[in-house]
Structure 1
């Protein structure tokens, strides 16, 4: 495959440079003129603004969604294709054997099977179903009548119709991409069982750290190896395919009494892995009785984010724990049986075939226990003897998510929005909403399972006892939520929310630092909020995390650092306020030190694989400040040594390695260790994972301000410099309901996913510079062209 892709790159460059204009031009979107679209009832107007955003006007709803599918496909058909292949476990067929593990994982999740169950029980006369069918008809009409995208040619993809099952499968991929359980639960269980409960104190766990597997046979080394591999595959699955993964988000709503205009203001920036094209496709839809400016995912006709002059909403990830990993007890006399509910129950077994580019088909065996799919056995011969089942809310709920988002797209009142979001049961999402009448609201939408008292789902559970049982789901009234609070504002930033009932909602939440930073500023009653100061809030690059992590270590550093330059750098860090502008040297110094501290303290206990898994989880963020403050933590000890380790020795080792690495990487003069040189953003395309196609399809690099857990959350994995940014704001939106026509927006790259199109990367520079552009309602701005879609005669 590498050779064919390299030849394609050469061919494209030669064609573009040597006059073979017809090939490239034939792939470009058409944004002006007239086209026939079958099954339309009346003509549809599609006007394009200066960013390539379509503004669609139709005379009825079915025509509106059919036209949306048509124009969405011409800009994003490859994104639709590659995303459905990911969700269905079909990437290896076009990307080769390196994606076999990813496909195997997604087949084991049973997403496509659950999607078919969902489709089978869907009311085929519902408005949501009819809208979806019209949209898919538009997508398929474009695909059938136009040349294949360049990526199809490169990968040998044969077009095939898109279906409702594909749309629902992508919803399952979205639900999976939130799930931290595959990484966190094996990691924490390994630490508990191999190192001891004392090593868990830094992770701030408050439920039964001594474990819930006491009655089950201990997991074998082979089990831990397979779980480690599963954790890594779950983390790498999306990155290696160059596809977006949902990570976090900011959103807030401010009531009219706290704004300059006297009307509510809504802000939102969902945090998603960067990719080309970006995850959201913007479009304004207008038909009699319906009007919405929306942000659409691949193959979804209903906006995930949206607004009009009456109301709007944004999303953050709830991050509730809706997956349990469960170790099954195997019958020693029959390896196909496991103990559930006091009886031996037989695993169900199915076989599936993976098509692999350039290789023979691969047959995989999928197992399922009464608790759910077995997820470690799909690894094959490397799997340990203990079956690990997955209970997942996505597979266990009715989850009428299509009907929910259809209603959300029309919910202009508190009651309508509350009723609509109750239909979103997996993945867990926070909806932050406002309307022009003056209301603001927040609802954490998810079906929250009722687990047995005392069970901590942060660890792998014991399937042979009642610990893995679920007795149902809590009512929606128990979900965290707020409507028109006395404070006059609502902020959501992935921190752990509170239930009205006071119950704890288990989850893998982000630290409170980012939310606290936003809350402090929004709580200032002297500030009247408008679009301008809201931009400054969204683009903030400061966090308390660095200073509070460093605080307990500054005295240690002053003791162990002896050289003059080192002492100057320590004092420089002591005065640092945790900000991450491009010119900051302290930001670079702290981030390298943070990694070296984690490595020096924890790598010897965990080894390479588990240490890398730790760095990919959110629990590392809570662990490092607590570790820094605990002089007696067992993590300071050297594994295998009888002598007690010291924090001072580890800190000194981490500091010395920090300076050595930065000198080797960025130069000997600390003044050259600027954050913007070490922290960069490149938007990666699935084909850009392979050289030399990266030069054609990828966008960047750009020097990137911000970091993990600041409002401008341009995040890189904890590691050694340089730091490639992996995720951040997937759009930044600001809507003042005094005049929603002045709403602001930005796309991280561009509206189009078609290489060489003018809108492929036309917003990338403005995005990284923190600029905004107008989200036109009614297209009051410049018109690039008008595409007229007409019925067939």
Structure 2
């Protein structure tokens, strides 16, 4: 036995030593020298205490080449996964279980459109040169450094990154905004099967003009159900960023303590490991920017310097229509379009499958767009459903737009950059040291025929399904230097001065109203401290608004003194969601049970789950509780029922679930016990990789539709935070050298690196860290210097 233990110990030590040596070779190199091809001069990369690179080069080409190299060593696996998702190539490394996701993204034609844009990209344009240098840096890293751990686990072979990969990722980001595929089938089904009275809670005006008449069969609805489920699964299970919402505001110098504009922003994106943004400070003659970058993209999507700063929120305009085509009964590959039968365009693509045979996919397109039935195979449905999408129908020079925005120090330059963003729709909130503040809703807005409501599936055989062009950018919602002295953007429906209607899938107004109320207070002079407090607020009027109409019903439903005390706790609640809150836990379980008691019986379990994945549920529940005569309150089993009975049923279910889940004692039903954040790595769903690669769970304050929007899906306790602030940034342009920010997880995407998760606890606790910009601060906080030398 003694000899066995000695041998076992020796084996374990040898294995541990080999494992440590192996993992050490995968870590980023942040100190020393490396040779890089095609450099014109040495480039110095100083790494600060958070692992953020501060890159100084003698020209722009060297600057972007170095950025590509250092970003690849921190985020190469993230880049690889995102390009594969966007281009429909995940089955090649993950096997046949990812075939449905690959089919979906091939059907969306992101890959085809990106390839076309790459062919049309001017290599001599400034943004074209920047992209070429950046991709060269990524590819030189791949050629010269060890592959990431995940490449070895999955057997991924390195292959060069291309302009088409970068542009495909832009297409994925545009798709992650689009809600039509998840919302329009459901709304159409409610209208057709239940009636227009059931639409009132969804705030969708009933306009029959141009909308598909009830001619979809059961197999068509089954197709749409499967497509919605596939879209949800592809976005949720990818472990990759999905844009959801955001907060942003800019305050003029007349309203700040410093006398200069202040910018605040926290884009809301699905949490993942690694986190979405890669921070980098870039400096070359005539150019300096502290930016937040997307994977495989050279330009910063968020950024600032001493002269200007900007942030983003999601516009959430409806830029995607689903269109039911009228099929020729004598030729199923023809559809009726503008008075005649026309052939569907067809092409084939091959999807490689790990440990399996390649799969050939037939993709079709009508004059309105790709036929999304093809995502499910040849036999999916009898009615071809086309997808019209701004991303596929416009020039969309997104790379050029952000290259310009990275240098936009005047109103005119900012406006010109915004005009070049076509899809996805983005709100740009911008400020400069000259005293200007501005907001531009950046998107190509389609002109639909009068009376057409794109919230429903449209009839492809009618002219109403066609577009009449696009509105000029001047008609978009926008403001420059408003007299009130501030601008706030929080995904609510905008009111353009031009008066045009902008259909969309907007968030409820309460979060924006909360921010507006605070910013409108003339007694406050805004600075970094009170701006932090505003970003971290965990209250909203949404909960009290939903509860107020049904408080009497809840009081009547309370069965004993303990339950009556719980109801009065809800009645006195101001909508706050700190970690110790009891009413926050009660409310979130009750709001789910209200939906389950009223909406689920008529929709059915699958459609109800689809509804919970959309923003429509957020608006529906307060309208439902406010209307005691809504048809949703009536029973579906033939017996009469009213709001009082339904609320009582939901209350009993709430208490039963919380007692079973969190314990009999309501004193233990604290929000932080039930509401947690886990940053999940794409491979973290597999045991034991989850324990090694995921970060969490961490008790999380905040919640759904409040400034600190650590948002969970409406559902039953316990709740996992799905998305929230992807960064929190605060820049006072009186002292931009000392701006503040935070990464939800860490700068590095390399497992076991010291910067993989070193900001996770500070983020969830509401802390901020400095974003070093001045030469003195960068030097004082340098922890390692990597010098990239021209290769000879």
Could you tell me the TM-score, scaled by structure 1's length? 0.97
Please give the secondary structure, in 2, of the residue aligned with 1:688: coil
1:448 aligns with 2:445: yes
Correspondences of 1:630-645 after superposition (within 5 Å): 630-639=627-636, 641-645=637-641
Alpha-carbon contact 1:447-1:473 (below 8 Å) kept: yes
Distance 1:576 1:685 in 2: 36
Shift of 1:586: 0.3
Alpha-carbon contact 1:581-1:675 (below 8 Å) kept: yes
Partner of 2:205: 206
Partner of 1:648: 644
Distance 2:609 2:791 in 1: 57
1:160 aligns with 2:156: no
1:716 aligns with 2:715: no
Shift of 1:561: 2.1
Alpha-carbon contact 1:115-1:165 (below 8 Å) kept: yes
Aligned partner of 1:429 among 422, 426, 442: 426
Q: Compared with structure 1, are the counterparts of its residues 775 and 16 closer, same or farther at alpha carbon in structure 2 (3 Å cutoff)?
A: farther
Please give the secondary structure, in 2, of the residue aligned with 1:743: strand
Alpha-carbon contact 1:192-1:210 (below 8 Å) kept: no
Shift of 1:682: 0.2
Correspondences of 1:620-635 after superposition (within 5 Å): 620-635=617-632
Alpha-carbon contact 2:210-2:452 (below 8 Å) kept: no
Alpha-carbon contact 2:678-2:697 (below 8 Å) kept: yes
Alpha-carbon contact 1:15-1:23 (below 8 Å) kept: no
Q: What does the per-residue CA deviation read over 1:526-581, in whole Å, with 9 as the maximum and x for residues that have no partner?
A: 00000000000000000000000000000111122222211111111000000000
Distance 2:557 2:535 in 1: 39
Aligned partner of 1:691 among 671, 687, 694: 687
Distance 2:163 2:569 in 1: 57
Partner of 2:93: 94
Once superposed, what is the RMSD of the aligned Cα atoms?
1.3
Q: Compared with structure 1, are the counterparts of its residues 421 and 112 closer, same or farther at alpha carbon in structure 2 (3 Å cutoff)?
A: same
Partner of 1:574: 571
Alpha-carbon contact 2:679-2:695 (below 8 Å) kept: yes
Distance 2:208 2:736 in 1: 50
Aligned partner of 2:328 among 313, 328, 331: 331
Alpha-carbon contact 1:197-1:209 (below 8 Å) kept: no
Please give the secondary structure, in 2, of the residue aligned with 1:141: helix
Q: What does the per-residue CA deviation read over 1:63-108, in whole Å, with 9 as the maximum and x for residues that have no partner?
A: 0000000000000000000000000011111122222111111000
Partner of 1:358: 355
1:223 aligns with 2:220: yes
Shift of 1:222: 0.8
Distance 1:364 1:768 in 2: 44
1:25 aligns with 2:27: no
Q: Compared with structure 1, are the counterparts of its residues 517 and 621 closer, same or farther at alpha carbon in structure 2 (3 Å cutoff)?
A: same
Alpha-carbon contact 2:557-2:651 (below 8 Å) kept: no
Alpha-carbon contact 1:240-1:689 (below 8 Å) kept: no
Correspondences of 1:251-650 after superposition (within 5 Å): 251-380=248-377, 383-639=380-636, 641-650=637-646
Distance 1:483 1:466 in 2: 37
Shift of 1:498: 1.1
Please give the secondary structure, in 2, of the residue aligned with 1:338: strand
Shift of 1:211: 7.4
Alpha-carbon contact 1:518-1:711 (below 8 Å) kept: yes
Alpha-carbon contact 2:316-2:491 (below 8 Å) kept: yes
Distance 2:452 2:237 in 1: 35
Distance 1:88 1:380 in 2: 18
Please give the secondary structure, in 1, of the residue aligned with 2:348: strand
Shift of 1:14: 8.5
Partner of 2:184: 185
Q: Compared with structure 1, are the counterparts of its residues 675 and 15 closer, same or farther at alpha carbon in structure 2 (3 Å cutoff)?
A: farther
The farther-off stretch of 561-570 and 181-190 is: 561-570
Shift of 1:17: 3.6
List runs of 5+ in structure 1 lacking aligned partners: 1-11
Distance 1:726 1:592 in 2: 17
1:132 aligns with 2:159: no
Q: Compared with structure 1, are the counterparts of its residues 475 and 546 closer, same or farther at alpha carbon in structure 2 (3 Å cutoff)?
A: same
Q: Compared with structure 1, are the counterparts of its residues 13 and 51 closer, same or farther at alpha carbon in structure 2 (3 Å cutoff)?
A: farther
Distance 1:113 1:642 in 2: 52
Distance 2:91 2:610 in 1: 24
Q: What does the per-residue CA deviation read over 1:212-234, in whole Å, with 9 as the maximum and x for residues that have no partner?
A: 212xx610111111101111111
Alpha-carbon contact 1:411-1:417 (below 8 Å) kept: yes
Distance 2:608 2:19 in 1: 50
1:725 aligns with 2:721: yes
Please give the secondary structure, in 1, of the residue aligned with 2:698: strand
Shift of 1:644: 3.0
Please give the secondary structure, in 1, of the residue aligned with 2:711: coil
List runs of 5+ in structure 2 lacking aligned partners: 1-10
Q: Compared with structure 1, are the counterparts of its residues 634 and 285 closer, same or farther at alpha carbon in structure 2 (3 Å cutoff)?
A: same
Distance 2:14 2:185 in 1: 50
Partner of 1:41: 40
Partner of 1:172: 171
Shift of 1:471: 1.1
Shift of 1:280: 0.3
1:238 aligns with 2:235: yes
Please give the secondary structure, in 2, of the residue aligned with 1:587: helix
Partner of 2:83: 84
Alpha-carbon contact 1:211-1:459 (below 8 Å) kept: no
Alpha-carbon contact 1:197-1:210 (below 8 Å) kept: no
Distance 1:432 1:762 in 2: 29
Distance 1:422 1:134 in 2: 26
Please give the secondary structure, in 2, of the residue aligned with 1:718: coil
Q: Compared with structure 1, are the counterparts of its residues 608 and 211 closer, same or farther at alpha carbon in structure 2 (3 Å cutoff)?
A: farther
Aligned partner of 1:704 among 688, 700, 703: 700
1:663 aligns with 2:643: no
Distance 1:308 1:124 in 2: 27
